């Protein structure tokens, strides 16, 4: 069972929050450097303050679809679009919607997991986060 299947199952199927959150989790799992590697990309793009809000205990700052496109690039967005069965623009908007919540749910003591971390072990935290926010 893939990470996407696990999250979808916990969140109630392949549509909506389950599919989107699962696709974002899978993107992070496969990203070079894991979530910490993605945070480095945001820092390099001048958007490190966003990641800091997601990993911290305060309110998550929003990210736009355009910011997602500039940081991730076409390859990562195309992979998420394929998993969700949507076009790249919709995938960027979906990532922008769910990435802050996912990053917040998988952060531990303000730190994001690096490469090699099994994010499926953190999926229960994601489930609790989405259920408490009514996603």
pLDDT tens for the chain, 135 residues: list them. Answer: 444 444 444 344 444 556 788 888 888 888 888 888 999 999 999 999 999 999 988 899 999 999 999 999 998 899 899 989 999 999 999 999 999 988 888 887 787 877 666 666 665 555 555 555 554
From residue 82, alpha-carbon distances to 11, 48, 52, 88, 101 in Å are 20, 27, 29, 8, 21
Residue 126, pLDDT score: 57
Neighbour count for residue 127 (Cβ, 10 Å): 18
The pLDDT of residue 135: 47
- Helix%, strand%, coil% for the chain, nearest 5: 70, 0, 25
pLDDT at 112: 82
Question: What domains can be seen in the chain, in order of their start residue?
Answer: 3-130 (1.10.10.690)
Structure tokens at 117: 């971390």
Quick one: pLDDT at residue 134? 52
Structure tokens at 66: 């355009």
Write down the pLDDT at residue 29. Answer: 82
* pTM for the model: 0.76
């Amino acid at each position: 069972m893939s990470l996407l299947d696990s999250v979808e199952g916990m969140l109630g199927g392949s549509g909506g929050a389950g599919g989107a959150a699962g696709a974002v989790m899978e993107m992070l799992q496969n990203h070079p450097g894991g979530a910490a590697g993605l945070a480095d990309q945001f820092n390099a793009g001048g958007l490190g303050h966003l990641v800091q809000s997601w990993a911290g205990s305060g309110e998550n700052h929003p990210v736009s679809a355009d910011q997602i496109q500039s940081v991730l690039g076409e390859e990562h967005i195309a992979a998420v679009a394929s998993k969700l069965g949507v076009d790249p623009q919709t995938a960027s908007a979906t990532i922008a919607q769910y990435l802050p919540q996912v990053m917040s749910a998988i952060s531990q003591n303000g730190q994001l997991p690096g490469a090699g971390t099994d994010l499926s072990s953190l999926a229960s935290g994601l489930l609790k986060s989405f259920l408490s926010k009514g996603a």
